[in-house]
Amino acid sequence: MVTQQDVLEEYDVEPMDGTNNVELADAKLENGSKGELIKLAGKLRDRRNELNQMASERASARDDLNAKTREKVDEAQEHREQRDELNEDVQEHKESRNDLNAEANELFDKVDQLKNDLDLDDGKSVEELEDEIDDLEFRQQTEVLSAEDERELIEKIERKRERLAERKEKLDEAGDLEKLVEEAEEVRSEASRHHQKVTELADEAQEHHNEMIEAYREADEIRDEADAMHELFVEAQESADRHHEDFVRVQKRLRELDKKEEQEEQDERAAEREAAKEEAEEIYQQFKEGETLDTEDLMKLQKAGLL
């Protein structure tokens, strides 16, 4: 089982230190001074940027792992296709082998039947009979025999010659036997070649099958790493989003304070204008009543538009 710690160490990804996170309390947001809130906004912004960078690095690592997973799956698929093609070839060679073996069996059955019909498996061969006749004739020529023994020897030679003639006659009648045997052996040899091909292709198909299994295993392992890295990405991104939301809240509060200050300044200036107007009106009344005005009073009247 792949853990987040495993992928952090494997891919040298910086772990997220929660102690560096910036917290925003509602009381601080409502009652904090403008200076305090400006400082807090800066911390939130900086931490948000750090977390976004961290999330980006983790997303990049995750995407790399997903790409490697796809590569392994593609590799496994290639091995699967090659295995299936080889298995199809194996099946074709098996069918050819079986057909050829069946054909060879039929031919050898014909050979056996022809031999049985001609009794070629019984008795001695032509070569053996010829050797025996040569031996008997040599004995007749070199040994001194009685008339009875010589007559028996001549009869024996004649019988051998008759059997030899019969044998040769059967072989003549079986003139296509050797050809049939040669054809049967050739067909059997062709069947053996297909069998050899079956063995070779089956072994090759098994190798691709093993490679496919290994590629799928590696793909699953890398996918688990990618999933763990995605969890780390989500962790960093959610924390970055929270810091951004708090940053936006503080900025909103600062804008509210700015508006409040601006309104207070406007009210203060209005109050000052009103007071100056009232004072100018009093001075003007004094002027109408004939009192002597100094320079400062005259400037106040001028400023108020009463002079």
Give the amino acid at 39.
K
Q: What would the mean pLDDT of 82-102 be, rounded to a whole number?
A: 96
Q: Which of 245, 247, 244, 231 is nearest to 15 (CA)?
A: 231
Instruction: Give the pLDDT band (50/70/90) at residue 207.
Output: very high
* In a domain? residue 133: yes
Q: What would the mean pLDDT of 5-14 be, rounded to a whole number?
A: 79
SS3 call for 197: helix
Give start and end residues of each alpha helix (H) in 119-176.
Answer: 126-142, 147-173
Whether the per-residue pLDDT at 232 is higher than 70: the answer is yes
pLDDT at 175: 64
Whether the per-residue pLDDT at 152 is higher than 70: the answer is yes
* In a domain? residue 33: no
pLDDT at 267: 82
In the predicted model, what is the mean pLDDT of the chain? Answer: 87
Q: Which of 50, 40, 41, 42 is nearest to 20 (CA)?
A: 50
Whether the per-residue pLDDT at 121 is higher than 60: the answer is no
Whether the per-residue pLDDT at 120 is higher than 60: the answer is no
Q: Collect all residues with Cβ–Cβ distance below 8 Å to 307 and sequence separation of at least 6.
A: 284, 298, 301
- Is residue 205 within 8 A of residue 90, CB to CB? The reply is yes
pLDDT at 3: 80
* In a domain? residue 136: yes
The Cα 282–Cα 10 span in angstroms is: 85
Q: Which of 153, 136, 137 is nearest to 145 (CA)?
A: 153
Q: Collect all residues with Cβ–Cβ distance below 8 Å to 16 and sequence separation of at least 6.
A: 51, 54, 232, 235, 236, 239
* In a domain? residue 301: no
Instruction: Give the pLDDT band (50/70/90) at residue 306.
Output: low
* In a domain? residue 53: no
Whether the per-residue pLDDT at 216 is higher than 90: the answer is yes
Q: What would the mean pLDDT of 219-234 be, rounded to a whole number?
A: 94
Lowest mean pLDDT across 9-23, 173-187, 281-295: 281-295
Instruction: Give the pLDDT band (50/70/90) at residue 173.
Output: low
Q: What is the enclosing helix (H) or strand (E) of 70?
A: helix 34-118
* In a domain? residue 135: yes
Share of the chain above pLDDT 90, in %: 51
Tell me the pLDDT tens digit for each residue of 282-303: 777 776 777 777 778 668 767 7
Instruction: Give the pLDDT band (50/70/90) at residue 123.
Output: low
Please say whether the dihedral angle defined by the alpha carbons of residues 70, 226, 217 and 215, taken in this order, is positive or negative.
positive
Q: What would the DSSP string read from start to end of 252-275?
A: HHHHHHHHHHHHHHHHHHHHHHHH
pLDDT at 245: 96
* Domains: count for the chain: 1
pLDDT at 259: 93
Q: What is the enclosing helix (H) or strand (E) of 3?
A: none
Which one-letter DSSP state was computed for residue 2?
-
- Pull the structure tokens for residue 203: 């072994």
pLDDT at 295: 77
Within 10 angstroms of residue 107's Cβ, the number of other Cβ atoms is 19
The Cα 70–Cα 53 span in angstroms is: 26
* In a domain? residue 192: no
Residue matched to tokens 């962790």 = 235
Share of the chain above pLDDT 70, in %: 93
- Host domain of residue 150: 122-173
pLDDT at 47: 95
